[in-house]
Structure 1
């Protein structure tokens, strides 16, 4: 079953949920601000999908990202450092993050969802 890590107040998370609901795709929802993914899960995903780059997993338009000035630091960051940082503050994670254990998407783009989740 899919697991959707989203944020209740995020319009992109809501769009993704609506898309999954409209396509009758079952998923388990977890608020990534209240309960971010575990560091070991993030480490696994960042490693498996490292061809996408660390920036793919970060909410680069978020306030916390800007406040921490991560734009300049992310290029030097290790996968271990990134997984620790993301697990400590869910607002740093690009949302929604959706995974079924094999595949993973961050953000919402309808064509990407069609190709990945249908």
Structure 2
């Protein structure tokens, strides 16, 4: 993990996720200073999910293509609205798309190297 200024990029996710590994490799290769925060740790999702939902919307946050979504019961996956989605993501943090990268101004959901380059390489050679 790289460290630096107080308002550095915060990258939330799960270390063993392939998408996370790609994002971290990109950040390291481009010398972007960041702090990694595992959102499986107690309190992370509860403390940040309301803000992420406000800034990005639950539809962008909810990962309906991953293994955890497939493991849910049909009842849990039926008629998902904002309230239900937030409750599911709180109960099962792996339902949140990874990574969630917070620049302080912009929230980047998932990994897209072009979007990362556009949003994060400002001021970097």
Q: Does TM-score exceed 0.5, indicating one fold?
A: yes
**CA distance in structure 1 between the aligned counterparts of 2:42 and 2:20, rounded to whole angstroms:** 15
Q: Residue deviations 1:4-30, cap 9 Å, x none?
A: 112121111011001111111111111
Contact 1:58 1:92 in 2 (8 A): yes
Aligned match of 1:90: 93
Aligned match of 1:39: 46
Give the counterpart of 1:73 among 51, 73, 79. 79
Q: Please say which structure displays the higher CA radius of gyration.
A: 2
* Structure 2 segments unaligned to the other structure (5+ residues): 1-7
* Structure 1 segments unaligned to the other structure (5+ residues): none
Superposition RMSD in Å? 2.1
Aligned match of 2:111: 108
The structure that is helix-richer by fraction is: 1
Change (3 A) 1:73 1:67: farther
